[in-house]
Every structure is written in C-alpha cells, then in structure tokens.
Structure 1
C-alpha cells in the first residue's frame, strides 16, 4: 500500500464511529476490544435468524411437499429461490453500506428478513411461499455480508483470528441446533413455525442494533452512484450459475437445457462483468483488482473448495442415515450434532493460533484433519457403528471449524478499511457458489452411484462413492493453503493498525 492510501485509510478509521481509539488503547494488544465484542454480540443475535432459517429448512423440504400438497420438484424452489436471492444481493452490499451507512443498512435488512418471515408464515400455497422466500433472501444476503464487514472494520485488522472466531458463532451453531429444531417443529407442530421461530431473533436483534450499533453515516459527503451496468452483469450472472448447478440433480442429466443454458449465460455474464470491472476500476460494483492481494485471491479459491466439501457432505450425511439406516429427519439431525460440537469447540483455539502463527499453517492442519475424518465415510455400510461415525464427525467438525476461521480470516489480511466491504462480498459469494457446486456435483454422483440399487448394501456403496468425492474436494484444498498469508503478514497487519491508532491519538 502506498503511504498516501494508508494515511487515507487511517483518517477514515479515525473518523469512523465503528473505530475508536479509546477502547483499543485500554485493551491489551492480544485481546479483542470490548467494543468489538459488544458489536459482535449485537450482530450475532440478528444473524442467528438467518442461519437457523437456512439450516432448519434443510430438513423440512420433504415435509413441506406433503403439507402443501405439491410435488418435491415444486417445493424445492422454496430453497432455490432463497438461495438465488441471497447470492444476487451480496455483490451490492458494499455500495449500499456506502450509501446508507452500516447501522441503517443492518436494521433495514433485519426488518426485511422479519417481514419476509411473517409473509412466509402466512403463505397460502407453494407459489406464495416461494415468492416470500425471495424477500427473506434479500434481507439475509445483506446481513451475512454486512456482519463480517462491520466487525472487521471495527477491529481494524487486529486479532483477525479471534475476531473471526466470534463472527462465526452463528455459522457454527446453525448446523448443530437448526436441524434438531426443524425436526422437533415438524414432528410436533405446523410448518409455519419454521418461519415464526425467526421472529424473536429479529425483534431482539433489532432492539440491540438500535441501542448498541454506533450511529454512522455514509462514507463520503456525496451519495455514491450505483454501478448499474455491473449490477446487471454480476448479480444475474451469479444467480444463473447457481441455478444451473441446482438443476444438475434433475432427471435429464448434465446435458439438459435447464443446466447448460443458465450455466452458459451465467459464465458469459460473469466474463462480461470482469471486462467491465477492469475498465471501471474502483467505481465497479465489486473491484476485482482486489485479487492482486494474494490473501484474498487464495482465500476465495479455498472457500470455493471448502464450501463444496462442507455443504456437499452436509447433504450426504443425513440422507445416508435416512435412506440406508431408516432414521427419521429428527434422528438424522441428532446424529449430526457431534460435528457441530466439534466446530464450536475448535473456533477459539483456531483463532488464537491464527493470530500467533498466521492463517497458512492453521488451514493446512485443519483441512488435513477434515480430509482424514471424511475418508471413513467412504467405507460406510448398512451396519457401520453409529458411535464410530459420530466420533469421526466430531473430529471432522474440529477440522472444519478451524479451517473456516483461517480461510475467512485470511481473506482480510493486508486489506485497507475501504477494501473490506468488497472483500466480504467476494468471500461470501465464493462460499455460496462453492456450496452450490459441491451439492450439485455430489447429488449427480450419488444418483448415478445408487441407480439400480435394490439393497441397503448397494445404497451404502453408492453413498460411499459420493463421500470419496467430498474427501477429494477437501484434499485438493490442502496444498493451496500454502498460498495463504503466514505469520509475517499477520503481524505486519497488526503493527500497521497499532501505528495508525497512535497517529490518530496524536
């Protein structure tokens, strides 16, 4: 970074209500500021509504089809429409924050998610529910990007690992509690409670946001202009790619028009955006020149692979227990709890080690552990011990939790404050697209592997083949972790931030 840009970033940080020198000056250099912790807690409460809604829905599709008296293909759009709205909204969050300010944008997005949840609970048929899920997706997409942006800007590049461990609490809690809550709701109550369950988090989160988030303002005196051309290229391009991937599991296969056309259109739109963004530079919706930072470029690729390994395997595991072992949705969700517990337990340790030794070694070890703990699922049979599989899932959760801390935190090393919103959008989109790729590919592999299977042993063998691919996604990411920033880059970031704070105090 040039000295002038650093000085500008420091001035912005000093002027921002999210970055105050006082709390940091009173805090030891290796601890997270109390002001940042309070900010994280406030944002987490609202974000839990989005995370729980997503994970609860993962076990509800089959029940929704029956209760709404529609086909599984139709009700699948309840998830697909939400996913598309989520992904299409993410690129514009940086511009919206600059135009409205972080606090106002967060409260607006939370209100939108609240309204969407109420509408979903009042839906009268599948088409209305699908439409209302789009409203939810828009609010949720803004919140998931903005949460990381606000916290990383407030932290100012210090203790990234510990801060990322705090931010990822909702992501870790969701897979543990969400499916269980969904199973209980569907077992004892009406499907509408899936959406009504979000309401307390929205209300309490809105109250805390109004009370605890610092009053802010747009980043400049003049309202920034929306890159309309970029928006028309990038958001539909991402949505088209994700939609094409979701159709891979259809009966027509990979050569289907439903797959080829949206994928081709999406790739063309993304290529068009790349050319447009390179010419427009900093005025683009997302400045892709940020990929000059090796930390962001390597983290983006790794998040694609990690998203594929995480979400793809999360699809396979409950299906294995339901289709091969005959478990209910609630039973399968309970068997997945050890993985979530492992994810929760490894976060704080991974955050501390990342701040101490850098993202690179933490990611290498974490993904190697994740790979080793995925391999046993390649040998599953109809009688494999559930105790053994749950123990393996616990270890896998330890690896996944640590890996996501390193990969997501590593993306922000070396970035200035004004670059964080775009980096946050890029990393979230990468994780979302990676999850769609992993889910789509593993669904196709599983369908082909179990085609013609008539016995539990044949089904288990098909699942084993799909699990081997999930392990392969993880293995491919391990050597790429060597491109992540190491200890020197992380220490330099912290020293640069400390120097900026001292200058601001003077």
Structure 2
C-alpha cells in the first residue's frame, strides 16, 4: 500500500506532463475541429462537399501514415529533438492552412499539419510512459486522458464558437500562440539526449514504411468512405479496402521474414497475450468514443429536432464524465492493477449504450444527458488502466513501437465505429430513431468484445525496485524491464 506522499507525482514529472500536454492538445483538437466547418469551407471555396471533406480526411491519412515512422525516429534523433520538430511542422502547417487561397492548397497544407500531428500524438504517449515508469504510468495516462477524451468532444464545440464570431482561418491561426508556448516550454523542460545514450539505431525499414503506413491509411480511407456514402458496395470503398488488405498482408509477410534490418513494427509484439488484450481493448474504446461523438449529436438533430450547435453542446456530459474519472482511474490502476478497472468501466459503458438504444423523441431530456455522462464515466474508467497496461507489458526498447501500435489501432477503432454507426443511421431512411437504436446496439457489441479482452489484461503490479519519477533520458532505459511482476 502506498502512502499519500508516495502516491503523489514528482513535481518534475508534473511539469513534464503539463509541457507535453500543451504541445499535444492542438493535434487532438484539430482532428475534429474542422468537421463543423465543411459547409463554411465548401461555400467559401465554391467546392463540393466531397472535395471539402478531404480537409479532414487528408489530415487523418497523413497522421496515420506518419505514426509508424515515429517509432523508429524517436530512437534515431531522440525524443526531445523529434518533439520540437513535430511542433515546428504542426505550426507551419497551421499557418499555411490559415493562409490557403483555394481548396486544393488547404488540403495540401492540412496534410503537412497531419504529418506534424502524426509525430506528436504517438510521441506524447512514448515520452509520458518513459518519464513515468511502470509504477506511475496509470496516473500519468489518467492525466493525459483528460486531454485525449475531451479533445475530440471539444473540437467541434471550439470550431463552432470560432465560426460564429471569427473568420474560418482562425481555426488554424489559434494554434500558433499555443504551439509557440509549447515549443519554448519544451526546450526548457525536456531533457537533452546524447547520441551515446541512444545507442546503436537500426536502419529504417524502408519497405515496411511503404507497406504498413499506407496500408493502415487505406483502411481508414475505406472506412471514411463508408461513413460518407452509407454503403460498402461502391468502388470508393472496395478499392482502398482491397489495397489495405494487400499492403498489410505484404507487411506481415515482410515483418515475419528473418533479415538484417528489423521491421518497423515487430509483429511478435502480438504474441504477448497481455499486450494484445490491452491494445484490442484500447481499439474498442476508440470505437465507442468516436461512434458516440458522431451519433449523439445526430440523435438530437434527427430524432429530437435540435440545432447543430445545441446538439454539439449536449455531447459535453460525455467528455465531462470521462475527464472527471480518468485521473482517479489511472491512480487506482497503479495500486490495484488494470484488469478490474477495465472490466468495471466496460460494464458501465455497456449499460449506458444499452440505455441509449432505448431512447426516442419522447424520452425525458435529462435521461440522454445522464446516459452520456455515465458512458463517459465508463470509457474514462477503462481508458487510463488499459493504456497503462500496454506499457507495463513491454520492455523499454519496445515502448515506441507499442505507442505506434496503440495509436494506429485506436485510429482504426475510431474509423470502424464511425463507419458502422453512419451506415446504420443512413440506411434507416425515414426512421432515424431505429437507426440510432441499431447504432448503439452495435456499440454495445463492441463493448462486449472489450469485456472479454479485459479478462486477459494484467492484474495488480508490484514494484520490485525503487524507481525515480523522472530521470534524464540519457541515464535511464525507457521503461525498466524486469522492474515489476504481474500478480493475478
């Protein structure tokens, strides 16, 4: 049992967490902020809605392609230099997007911004996991989860507020002062890393880069097209889906073949049962979270007849519930382990989803708000423990790869969730209520999968060696292998 003093995060670690989250929050917000600006941008640039949709899609695909390369680059150039480079690239993309003169230039600059986010988002997980160590990773991921869970919810709200009072360009210019502050603080706070400390770095797996990033991105594109078109049976879906299967199958064959250059992502990670269970649970959390972000506003618009902005605001209880519980769940997972917390959170989220599947236009206004709040509590209760368990199952040198796998599967889970509920809602035709019910039954099925996966997540973690909260990167391994054991 830890004492209250031991339970507190070291001040240096708290500063590091704050600095990293300041830099990472804009990438998370920007992923969903522009979703509310499609009509505005389409009118401003006299472009079709399908073309304007690439402002968001291009950003997401660039982010996805970049993620696996980040796992290699962090060992090549060091976490501090890579973080600062990602901030500079993201800010440059933001400024250029705000200065865009037509829809084509805006899409191009959003791709550059997405590359910056593809560096920052998984690297944020890696830096925090390395700083925390296995005995504090739950608490740290709980704090990070406040940003991760509320960012996608706040993005459309922030975007709507900006569009109501300012020109659309300020959706991108608003990033600039925040990134400048993040850059200055990161230079002062993130520890420098010497080449000797990083040790020998393997050559970049060029073929792996050409296969896995585009493969995952093609899958995300196919799912995005499903959400937009409401059907699988179109060439816009089937072509990228076939390409995704071919590229990812090629990567699997490539990665499992013995050779001198190690694979970009070692698929033998998935032979670790605890790791596989943790990332599957994280993927389902992404599915439930983004499906809810997509479908709850549609419930208020299509079933209850509310306006767009008011519908978006009524999503807030979901984000608030998650943000409130995540730090506590992370702290408890460091004491008690992740398994029971993940099971409890998945069960609460499942019951909330089943409640949503019963709502209609006559349901009292308080009940959907309460269900959204408890759904946030459920996903938040599971989120930090599940992410923390990923890092407790890996030795230090595999932490960057684990971050990449975690983030890619979370993105795929989010895309699957949006695609499935969009398909069900669109195919409901003149009965949006039944489409909404089916959508939340689908989310409930996903949460059942998470319940099963959570049974294989590690139990309580016992530290066997005293570990400082923050060490200079040059003097410590990423996450200490052998510094803990799983107690079932």
TM-score (norm 2): 0.91
The runs of 5 or more residues in structure 1 that have no matched partner are 1-26
Taking the aligned partners of 1:396 and 1:172, their CA distance within structure 2 comes to: 12
Taking the aligned partners of 1:222 and 1:361, their CA distance within structure 2 comes to: 39
1:152: how far off? 0.8
Taking the aligned partners of 1:55 and 1:246, their CA distance within structure 2 comes to: 14
Number of aligned residue pairs: 468
Task: Give the secondary structure class of the aligned counterpart of 1:32.
Answer: coil
Determine whether 1:273 maps to 2:243.
no
Indicate conservation of the 8 Å contact 1:240/1:262, yes or no: yes
Matching residue within 447, 451, 454 for 1:474: 447
Deviation digits for residues 181-235 of structure 1 (CA, Å, limit 9, x no counterpart): 2111112221111111211211110110111111113454555411101111111
Determine whether 1:377 maps to 2:356.
yes
Alpha carbons of 1:153 and 1:382: their partners in 2 closer, same or farther (altered >3 Å)? same
The range that moved more, 256-265 or 419-428, is 256-265
Q: Which residue of 1 aligns with 2:414?
A: 435
Q: Which residue of 2 aligns with 1:60?
A: 37
Taking the aligned partners of 2:469 and 2:101, their CA distance within structure 1 comes to: 56
1:417: how far off? 1.4
Determine whether 1:159 maps to 2:105.
no
Q: Which residue of 2 aligns with 1:135?
A: 112
Taking the aligned partners of 1:288 and 1:28, their CA distance within structure 2 comes to: 40
1:412: how far off? 0.9
Q: Which residue of 1 aligns with 2:80?
A: 103
Alpha carbons of 1:175 and 1:241: their partners in 2 closer, same or farther (altered >3 Å)? closer
Taking the aligned partners of 1:385 and 1:44, their CA distance within structure 2 comes to: 38
The range that moved more, 326-335 or 247-256, is 247-256
1:292: how far off? 2.6
Task: Give the secondary structure class of the aligned counterpart of 1:365.
Answer: helix
1:497: how far off? 5.9
**Aligned CA-pair RMSD:** 2.2
Matching residue within 350, 360, 382 for 1:403: 382
Q: Which residue of 1 aligns with 2:239?
A: 261
Alpha carbons of 1:465 and 1:414: their partners in 2 closer, same or farther (altered >3 Å)? closer
Alpha carbons of 1:500 and 1:337: their partners in 2 closer, same or farther (altered >3 Å)? closer
1:465: how far off? 1.9
Alpha carbons of 1:397 and 1:70: their partners in 2 closer, same or farther (altered >3 Å)? same
Q: Which residue of 1 aligns with 2:481?
A: none
Taking the aligned partners of 2:470 and 2:146, their CA distance within structure 1 comes to: 28
Q: Which residue of 2 aligns with 1:298?
A: 277
Taking the aligned partners of 1:206 and 1:153, their CA distance within structure 2 comes to: 20
Taking the aligned partners of 1:223 and 1:334, their CA distance within structure 2 comes to: 48
The range that moved more, 470-479 or 144-153, is 470-479
Taking the aligned partners of 1:499 and 1:124, their CA distance within structure 2 comes to: 51
Taking the aligned partners of 1:215 and 1:72, their CA distance within structure 2 comes to: 46
Taking the aligned partners of 1:59 and 1:501, their CA distance within structure 2 comes to: 40
Taking the aligned partners of 1:78 and 1:345, their CA distance within structure 2 comes to: 32
Task: Give the secondary structure class of the aligned counterpart of 1:382.
Answer: coil
Q: Which residue of 1 aligns with 2:340?
A: 361
1:356: how far off? 1.8
Indicate conservation of the 8 Å contact 2:287/2:417, yes or no: yes
Determine whether 1:249 maps to 2:222.
no
1:501: how far off? 11
Matching residue within 278, 295, 303 for 1:316: 295
Indicate conservation of the 8 Å contact 1:295/1:413, yes or no: no
Taking the aligned partners of 2:301 and 2:102, their CA distance within structure 1 comes to: 27
Q: Which residue of 2 aligns with 1:23?
A: none
Taking the aligned partners of 1:65 and 1:317, their CA distance within structure 2 comes to: 24
